[in-house]
Amino acid sequence: MDLEEIVFQIILNAGNAKSSCFEALKNAKEGDFKSAEKYLNNAEEEIIKAHNIQSSMLQKEASGDHQNVTLLLMHAEDHMMSAILARDLITEMIELYKFIFQTKGIMLN
């Protein structure tokens, strides 16, 4: 794959992760914590895919195979970091929803 294809793969994985995170939050808001967890797990898988691509690029860079830093590459990195941030924050928000549901005496599923 050339650099552009690699970058678009990172963007795709990160976008999928972010979408899954927000689906998890939507499900948690509705009290469906099992589905929320499935979406978070899917998000984690997508983040790992993006991270593995990034790690491969870093290894190549460290071995002397330098890539040009393009605006598109920076955009992909932004997407990855925002997906990671979404995962972290939404995981905490889901814990808050669980607490709210438990406090109200609503059975969790």
Question: Which residues fall within 8 angstroms of residue 10, CB to CB, at 6 or more apart?
Answer: 50, 53, 54, 76, 77, 79, 80
88 marked as binding residue: no
Question: Which residues fall within 8 angstroms of residue 57, CB to CB, at 6 or more apart?
Answer: 6, 67
Q: Quick one: angle between helices 71-103 and 3-29, nearest 10?
A: 10
Question: Which residues fall within 8 angstroms of residue 32, CB to CB, at 6 or more apart?
Answer: 109
Residue 85 near residue 35, CB atoms below 8 Å: no
Which position among 51, 66, 75, 79 bears the catalytic label? 75
75 is catalytic: yes
Q: Which residues are annotated as a binding site for Mg(2+)?
A: 78
So which residues are the catalytic ones?
A: 75
